Amino acid sequence: MDTRSIVYQVLFAVLFAMGSVSFVWSQSEAESVIALSDVKTLEELAKVGEQLFEGKGECAQCHSLQGSPSEKGPSLAGVGAKLTREFLYESLVKPDAYVYLDFTKLPPVPYVTPMPPTLLAKGEILAVIAYLQQSSGQLVSIELSELK
Amino acid sequence: MEGAAMGKGRQFSLGCVVVFVALFSLIVGCTNKTDNDTSQSSSLVMQGKELFMNYCVHCHGPSGVGDGFNALYLDPRPRDLTDSIEVFMGDLSNDDIYGMILSRDIMDPEESERLLDEALENDTELPFLVPPAMPTFKYTLSDAERWTLVAYLRTLHKNDAPQVDIPATVSTTRPIVSGRKVPSWDMAEEEKITLVERGKALFSDKYNCVGCHMIAGYGGKVGPDLSQSGRRLASDWTYQWISNPQAISSDTKMPNLGLSENEAKAITLYLGTLVSPSTS
């Protein structure tokens, strides 16, 4: 066995080990996901909302909460304080009812990609709203009883 | 002999180098000096231009002739800052532009409140509180920033005004409106009706908010259509926003209008009544 093949074998082993570790790690991450039905507090509800925002809800594909300008969609920094709960709900279900324009453009124009209606269920939408409110420094105005 | 000749040759080239370096540094020194002068004024102009492109361009247009996209929605039309048809800007002094236009004083809130109440009580026509359509930038930009705007505006039209020079004593900090406590929205229905009416008059007649915001198909397009603000916007947020937009979004185009607490409350209540669907 020459040195080169030993090096390759070691390299392979290291890569394999790294892969396994990250797989196990991601599995344990996945386990920490809270199910909406298990939510006991408003903090947990907002946490579920964050997971939906980043994941299944696909909100983060076009929006950010950091206030950084995006070509795809308006920044959602502070919207939990700015917009009423009812309007936030409507924006997810019927996004074309009121289209917020890109005011950095002269004249302001709609964003290139229109927002599609969300595929999330009612309880999940409320969780996203809870997350938006919490990250805007607001009290979450959603009651856990509404999730049922 | 040969060595001495070499020495002379070296001395000569060394001399040439010394003379050349001296000449070169003299030239560089001179050009640097003029560069400093022009670069100082051109940097003021550049700063002013940057502000112009954020706060003025939508009405006055990129070249300043008054053809911004929002000009269409304004009456009177925005001023042609290039004086292409009539001389107006060219006759103003730097102090005029700085003081009367960019730092204009809006009528004292108590005075306008009194006039509005009087008109509402006697059921007479509401007074038109501030004639020009343009907002003041006194509460939005620092003194120095408004001077850089003067410097830029001066490049747009013919004038004999002296070059703008900002003394070191001019303030470079933007006016700060400390965080306002949101008022209580609980009140008797009658008080609310009065405040809503006052808010509406302030919105259209004193601060000319319709210059930039559309309501039910009437108004400008710089900012969002407010036709549905009653169901879209949270009152606490609206109050904070109109009191000090820059505190929430530092680079927003909306100027701080210097609203008093009562004015901000009245306008917030008025916006809260708007629920009609947008027609734009």
A105-120 pLDDT, tens per residue?
A: 999 999 999 999 999 9
Cα–Cα distance, B135 to B106 (Å, whole number): 9
- Domain range list for chain A: 1-32, 36-147
Q: Are A142 and A128 in contact (CB under 8 A)?
A: no
Cα–Cα distance, A85 to B232 (Å, whole number): 9
CB contact under 8 A, A81 and B57: no
Cα–Cα distance, A136 to B234 (Å, whole number): 13
**pLDDT at residue A33 tops 90:** no
**pLDDT at residue B206 tops 90:** no
Distances (CA, A) of B12 to A33, A72, A120: 84, 69, 87
CB contact under 8 A, B224 and A83: no
B4-51 pLDDT, tens per residue?
A: 444 556 666 666 565 565 555 555 554 544 445 566 679 999 999 999
Q: Are B148 and B98 in contact (CB under 8 A)?
A: no
In this complex, the residue of A81, A98, A108 whose CB is nearest that of residue B232 is: A98
Q: Which two tokens stand for residue B274?
A: 């708007």
Cα–Cα distance, B78 to B96 (Å, whole number): 17
**pLDDT at residue A28 tops 80:** no
Q: How confident is the model at residue B2 (pLDDT cuts 50, 70, 90)?
A: very low
Q: How confident is the model at residue B231 (pLDDT cuts 50, 70, 90)?
A: very high
- Residue B26, pLDDT score: 54
Using the Cβ of A103 and the Cβ atoms of chain B, whether some distance falls under 8 Å is answered with yes
B183-196 pLDDT, tens per residue?
A: 999 999 999 999 99
What are the phi and psi torsion angles at B73 (to 5°)?
Answer: -100, 5
Using the Cβ of A78 and the Cβ atoms of chain B, whether some distance falls under 8 Å is answered with yes
In this complex, the residue of A81, A87, A103 whose CB is nearest that of residue B232 is: A87
List CB contacts (< 8 A) between A84 and chain B.
231-234
- Establish how many alpha carbons lie within 13 A of residue A31's alpha carbon, considering only the half-sphere containing its beta carbon: 6
Using the Cβ of A105 and the Cβ atoms of chain B, whether some distance falls under 8 Å is answered with no
**pLDDT at residue B227 tops 50:** yes
CB contact under 8 A, B231 and A108: no
**pLDDT at residue B278 tops 50:** no
C-alpha B148: how far from chain center: 11
- Domain range list for chain B: 41-103+138-175, 107-134+178-280
Write the single-letter amino acid at B155: T
In this complex, the residue of B57, B236, B278 whose CB is nearest that of residue A106 is: B57
List CB contacts (< 8 A) between B69 and chain A.
106-107
Q: Are B219 and B229 in contact (CB under 8 A)?
A: no
CATH architecture of A36-147: Orthogonal Bundle (1.10)
In this complex, the residue of A83, A101, A106 whose CB is nearest that of residue B233 is: A83
Q: How confident is the model at residue A18 (pLDDT cuts 50, 70, 90)?
A: confident
What are the phi and psi torsion angles at B214 (to 5°)?
Answer: -95, 140
- Residue A88, pLDDT score: 98
Q: Are A72 and A111 in contact (CB under 8 A)?
A: yes
Q: Are B223 and B253 in contact (CB under 8 A)?
A: yes
- Residue B149, pLDDT score: 97
Residue of B237, B242, B279 for testing the chain A interface, max A β-carbons within 10 Å: B237
Which is more confidently placed, B259 or B278? B259
Cα–Cα distance, B272 to B266 (Å, whole number): 10
The CATH code of domain B41-103+138-175 reads 1.10.760
The CATH code of domain B107-134+178-280 reads 1.10.760.10
A43-100 pLDDT, tens per residue?
A: 999 999 999 999 999 999 999 998 776 778 999 999 999 999 999 999 999 999 999 9
Cα–Cα distance, B24 to B20 (Å, whole number): 6
Q: Which two tokens stand for residue B278?
A: 């947008």
* Type and span of the H or E element at B215: strand B214-215
Nearest C-alpha neighbor of B59 from the set B130, B137, B112? B137
What's the length of chain B? 280
**pLDDT at residue B63 tops 60:** yes
Q: Provide the number of CB pairs (under 8 Å) joining chain A to chain B.
A: 40
